[in-house]
Structure 1
Amino acid sequence: MEEDTEHPAPARRGPHVRAPRDLAAGVLVAGIAAVALLATGDLDPGRLRAMGPGMLPRAVAAILGLAGLALIAAAFLKDGEPIGRWSLRGPVFISLAVIAFALTIRTVGLALAGPLVMLLGGAASPEVRWKELAIFAVVTTVACAGLFRFALGLPIPVLILPGFRL
């Protein structure tokens, strides 16, 4: 086999990213963890015997940060997929679902806000099966209303209509 002397391979310097998708995911996850740690900096973590409001969020953020660092390290150690094209459909519909929930939970209640959010969130996938999603949305909303409002007694409005409030 003859060596190509006209076009020699470029010399590699420093670490080489073998899994760009893993690297991007790791940076994103580690960034979210860093923001969470900064946001919970004022909360008292308490002690193990008397946990404070900051212990769980910080622990979850720390675990998330470790997972992000593991993804970043893996991107340099094992081969993976390149970053391909991605659609805006998912992020747009998930963002719309979050906004819809924020705007409807206090105005019409969980009975309408719940299914609306799940249907909008389901639209994020091109493979959505609407009939199954609608059934899931109704069953999940009934379960959430039963748990949060009636079992736990939280002041979450279930249904708000003119002249009627549950």
Structure 2
Amino acid sequence: MSLLNKGGDGIHPVIRSPQNFVAGAFLIVAAAFVVWMLSGLSQGTLRTMGPAMVPRWTAVGIGLGGAVLVVLSFLKEGEALERWHLRGPIFVLASLVIFAATIRSVGFLVAAPLSMLTAGFGSREVRPLELVIFTVAMTVFCAVVFRVLLNQPLPMLVLPALSIQF
């Protein structure tokens, strides 16, 4: 099956919004991957939630959103595919690796800002001062939420022979 219909007046694309189609297809594939990865974990019930309930249903919601994008790509005119740039994905992936590599060795107060600063440079339009302000604000906010409000055993700052646990 071709994605182009040949009409009397020329060629008309069946997919009217290629950008929405590709984005929706990507979301569906990513959601299916997450659901598959969670297949070994118990979902539990609403009364006793298991470790897979929230991530699984979040993935299902994201997959449904992707399906909506795919359907709309056939019904409404939209943007063509743009040229892809690797800068953003590379910096975001690097920030995830940095966070994973440093959270246990130096603690959250070092790992989070390093990760956020790295991810921020994934955009060509980065403004360093705004990025630093955002990084400090988000680090403080996340530290309060995870350590104080949710009481998670998060190493805040790890120094040689000294670990600060708030």
TM over 0.5: yes
Alignment partners' CA distance in 2, 1:11 and 1:41: 44
| Structure 1 pair 50–157 and aligned structure 2 pair: CA distance change class (3 A) | closer
Larger Rg: 1
Number of equivalences: 157
Deviation at 1:31, TM superposition (A): 0.4
CA distance in 2, matches of 1:162, 1:42: 38
Tell me: CA distance 1:60–1:147, structure 2 relative to 1, closer, same or farther (3 Å): closer
1:145 and 2:143 correspond: yes
Amino acid at match of 1:46: G
Within 5 A, what are the aligned runs for 1:147-166?
147-166=145-164
Quote the residue 1:5 is aligned against. Answer: none
**Of 70, 84, 87, which residue of structure 2 is paired with 1:86?**
84
Partner AA of 2:77 in structure 1 = D
Compute the TM-score of the two structures, normalised by the length of structure 2. 0.85
Change (3 A) 1:44 1:67: same
Q: C-alpha distance in 1, partners of 2:143/2:77?
A: 46
Counterpart residue identity of residue 101, structure 2? L
1:11, 1:107 → 2: CA distance?
59
Of Structure 1 and Structure 2, the greater strand share is in 2
Structure 2: state its 5+ residue gaps: 1-7
Aligned sequence identity (%): 43
Change (3 A) 1:75 1:54: same
Deviations 1:22-71 (A, max 9, x none): 11001000001111121122222222333322222221122111111111
Quick one: structure 1 residues 24 and 54, their matched pair in 2 at CA, closer, same or farther if it must change by over 3 Å? same
Give 1:36's aligned residue.
34
Q: Which residue identity lines up with residue 29 of structure 2 in the other structure?
A: G
Deviation of the 1:86 alpha carbon? 2.1
Q: Distance in 2 between matches of 1:111 and 1:99?
A: 16
Evaluate the alpha carbon distance shift between residue 56 and residue 154 of structure 1 in structure 2; reply closer, same or farther with a 3 A threshold: closer
Question: Which residue, 105, 109, 114 being the options, matches 2:107?
Answer: 109
1:156 partner SS: coil
Return structure 1 stretches of 4+ with deviation > 3 angstroms: 8-12, 150-153
CA distance in 2, matches of 1:97, 1:72: 30
> How far did 1:144 drift?
2.2
Does 1:122 find its partner at 2:120?
yes
Alignment of 1:42-81 (within 5 A): 42-81=40-79
Give TM-score scaled by structure 1 length: 0.85
Distance 2:152 2:65 in 1: 34
In the TM superposition, what is the alpha-carbon distance from 1:152 to its structure 2 partner? 3.3
Q: Which piece of structure 1 moves more, 81-90 or 22-31? A: 81-90
